[in-house]
Amino acid sequence: MTEHEALRVLIYSDDRDVREAVIAALGARPHPDLPAFEYVECATEPVVWQHLDERRGRPDLVILDGEAVPVGGLGMARQMKDEIFQAPPVLVLTGRPQDAWLATWSRAEAAVPHPIEPLRLAEAVIALARGVLAPG
């Protein structure tokens, strides 16, 4: 990835308002040290897997809504980690702070509870994005 390439961030939720809240919280470039973000919005599980199966253009970072229906993001996160070699980092949106243990079970690298707090979400995503860009 060159410094001018955008980071591809996949956002999965069956709720358009959740996807829009994530994008509004993060903006086009959540930190000056990071490249711009290119968002891929997915409302259904099959579309998420389509994007993850792409060789070129695979997302660099994935945000999954644990409250999505009929397929929640927590189970999808665990399946990604089981089935995809070098899966991208995952942030899950949990139903409440007490559900952080479910994020651990899912093997997500980060978790943020609903309702989305923009600063908290941005801090978690920035940390994950820096990990993506770190050499090695």
Instruction: Report the pLDDT value the prediction gives residue 55, as an integer from 0 to 100.
Output: 77
Average pLDDT over residues 17-44: 97
pLDDT surpassing 50 at residue 45: yes
- Read off the pLDDT of each residue in 43-47 and give the average, rounded to a whole number: 97
Q: What pLDDT was estimated at residue 135?
A: 64
In a domain? residue 104? yes
Q: How far is CA 53 from CA 32, 78, 80, 98, 130, in A?
A: 30, 16, 10, 32, 23
Average pLDDT, stretch 16-37? 97
- Residue 44 in domain: yes
User: Looking at the predicted structure, is the pLDDT value of residue 134 above 90?
Assistant: no
pLDDT value, residue 2: 47
Q: Is residue 103 part of a domain?
A: yes
State pLDDT tens for residues 81-112.
999 999 999 999 999 988 889 999 999 999 99
| In a domain? residue 133 | no
Assigned domain for 53 exists: yes
pLDDT band at 120 (very low <50, low <70, confident <90, very high): very high
Q: What is the DSSP code (8-state) at residue 49?
A: H
For residue 14, pLDDT over 80 is answered with yes
Indicate which CATH number applies to the domain containing 77. 3.40.50.2300
Residue 90 and residue 62 in contact, taking contact as beta carbons nearer than 8 Å: yes
Task: Give the number of domains in the chain.
Answer: 1
Within a domain: 72? yes
Report the pLDDT value the prediction gives residue 57, as an integer from 0 to 100. 83
Q: Which domain, by its residues, includes 18?
A: 7-84+93-118
Q: How many other β-carbons are positioned within 10 Å of the β-carbon of residue 135?
A: 3
